[in-house]
Amino acid sequence: MKEVQQKVDAMILHLGGYWRPLSGLARLLEEVGELGGALRNAIDEEIKEELLDVLVISTCLANQYAITLRQPEASDSGETRDQVYFRIVEEAGEVARILNAYEGDKKLKPNREGESLKDHIERLQCAVMSLGASFNMRLFDLLFALIEEKSTRDFGRFDHTPDPITESSVRTYLSHRNGRYWGGIPVKSFERFDRYIEREQHLRRFYKIATIEGLDGFVIHQQRDGLIFTGDLPVIEGFELTVEDYASGTYFVVRPTR
């Protein structure tokens, strides 16, 4: 599954970049609906295409939160195809609920706090694999072929949207240290940290979800004549700021306090 996630990442960058998470969610729900239509009309080729699309888009969403997915396995639970599809719909709804709390206006209910996006994406993908297996579809083999096809055409198909998983700060940092990190936008010369935070919207999102999803840190690449700090340590309670020096430069890393 690690290879699949890497190939999906490369494919999305080839196409132009990730969508905003709520836009990605809309695409996921669209594909789940189209899968329902293909099942109702009993068109196997369309069923295969929609199952693959659900796998790809859900993997994109996992990548955007630096989630390492387990390889989904089909289960033989004795459910009918309709029942497995209802499971797909249910888990897609759970993904929607969590993303609406992470990116939108919805608040997580007290009895649901702490549930991770990772768990529901993995359950969604297992249900997809189970439905595919009921049609004797080798979805993983088909998925690799689909990724290869899309990675060789449609260059720049999507408009680029800044995303914390694709910022150069995190991409260069990951060559020095492994983990689940988000990255900040480039720093301006002699920029005060509080002004930087006004421009950098992803750090607020990081504070909101880091402990739930297990993110290791938020990386800011310090350029020469870069950030200027004034006053107290500029992070919120429950987080700490570390400074790390590597050959590629200095990095400020905001980490959850363990």
Q: What is the pLDDT of residue 114?
A: 59
Mean pLDDT in residue range 6-21:
90
Decide the pairing of beta strands 217-222 and 249-256: antiparallel
Q: Model confidence at 112, in pLDDT bands (50, 70, 90)?
A: low
Q: In what order do the strands lie in the sheet with 249-256?
A: 181-183, 217-222, 249-256, 239-246
Kindly report, residue by residue over 163-197, the tens digit of the pLDDT: 999 999 999 999 999 999 999 999 998 988 888 88
For the chain, list the domains and their CATH numbers: 2-150 (1.10.287.1080), 168-256 (no CATH)
- Residue 149, Cβ neighbours under 10 Å: how many? 11
Of 10, 117, 100, 3, the residue nearest 58 (C-alpha): 117
Is the predicted pLDDT of residue 155 greater than 90, yes or no? no
pLDDT digits 0-9 by tens, 220-243: 998 778 888 776 667 889 999 999
Confidence check: pLDDT of 84 > 60: yes
Which residue in 182, 168, 164, 160 sits closest to 223, CA to CA? 168
How much of the chain exceeds pLDDT 70, in percent? 93
Q: Enter the pTM of the model.
A: 0.90
Nearest 5°: the CA angle 112, 71, 95 is: 30
Do β-strands 181-183 and 217-222 pair in parallel, antiparallel, or remain unpaired?
parallel
Supply 186's token pair: 């480039």
Contacts 24+ apart (CB under 8 A), 251-254: 251/169, 251/173, 251/219, 251/220, 251/221, 251/222, 252/219, 252/220, 252/222, 252/227, 253/173, 253/181, 253/217, 253/218, 253/219, 253/220, 254/203, 254/206, 254/217, 254/218, 254/220
In the predicted model, what is the mean pLDDT of residues 126-140? 94
CB 125 within 8 A of CB 67: no
Q: What is the mean pLDDT of the chain?
A: 89
Give 132's contacts (C-beta < 8 A, 6+ positions apart).
48, 51, 74, 138, 139
